[in-house]
Amino acid sequence: MHPLLDGKCLIAFDLDGTLIDSVPDLTVAVARALVDQGLSMPTTDDVRDWVGNGAAVLVERALTWAQGAPPEAMLFDRAYAAFLHHYAAAPNQLTSLYPGVRAALSGLRDAGFTLMLITNKPERFITPILDHFDLRGCFKLCLGGDSLAEKKPSPLPLLHAAQVGGVAPGVCVMVGDSRHDIAAGKAAGFVTLALPYGYNHGEPIGDSEPDAVIASLAELMA
Ligand SMILES: O=C(O)COP(=O)(O)O
Ligand SMILES: [Mg+2]
């Protein structure tokens, strides 16, 4: 077991860039949404840097990139609706689990940890994706970016998770790939563990000063 899990009982996991490599499917949905508006298509590398603040900000960043200026409200509304439509049609076509995820989640659950999922993704996409990978049963609670009044980097969803788990923030851990996970974790009083392989706007996750950077989820059980 990783030493920072000592004495802890609740672990909150981020989804995109932490458990799943979702950028290929996000790219297809964003590209289709932009083409629907007569705009040009981004690449996977473009989209990777736009992920992390939820779907609305993703679409806003994509439109700003395509037009060279922030979108007007009507264009945004059309493109956002198109993105939701296209992503809902194929959230799992090209998405894969990162190495070590399945074994770590089942191992930690069997070791007695309460596992929760806190993503900035819209809540409606959580169940289809977790069901696809047969992971829904690992989590006691799953929160999306629109489940509560605030999303990460706000500590609100993490504090809510601790409350639902009936434990103090000091015995909770946040595991994530982006500065928003680490900022939320620090503000909530959680221990923070970071993965370097995900999506962090092109910055090294160590810059956010998590309590530790681990190479993969396998290190949680090692
Ligand atoms: O939808 C996003 O922007 C990212 O979601 P995440 O919080 O699971 O990384
Ligand atoms: Mg993430």
Whole-complex ipTM: 0.98
Tens-place pLDDT, residues 79-113 = 999 999 999 999 999 999 999 999 999 999 999 99
Ligand 1 contact, 51 CB (< 6 A): yes
* CATH no. of 23-89: 1.10.150.240
Burial 88-105 (b: 16+ CB within 10 A, else e): eeebeeebeebebbbebb
How many other C-beta atoms lie within 10 A of the C-beta of residue 67? 15
Q: Report CA(16)–ligand 2 centroid distance (Å).
A: 4
Give the whole-angstrom CA distance, residue 86 versus residue 78: 12
Q: Could you report how far apart the first and last alpha carbons of the chain are, in Å? A: 5
What distance in angstroms lies between residue 53's CA and the mean position of ligand 2's atoms? 9
Which residue's alpha carbon is nearest to atom 4 within ligand 1?
A: 52
Q: What is the widest separation between alpha-carbon atoms in the chain? A: 54
Q: Residue 49 catalytic?
A: no
What residues does each domain of the chain span? 3-22+95-221, 23-89
pLDDT tens string 56-82: 999 999 999 999 999 999 999 999 999
Q: Given this chain, do its domains 3-22+95-221 and 23-89 carry the same CATH topology?
A: no
Of the options 1.10.730.10, 2.60.40.1120, 3.30.460.80, 3.40.50.1000, the CATH number for the domain spanning 3-22+95-221: 3.40.50.1000
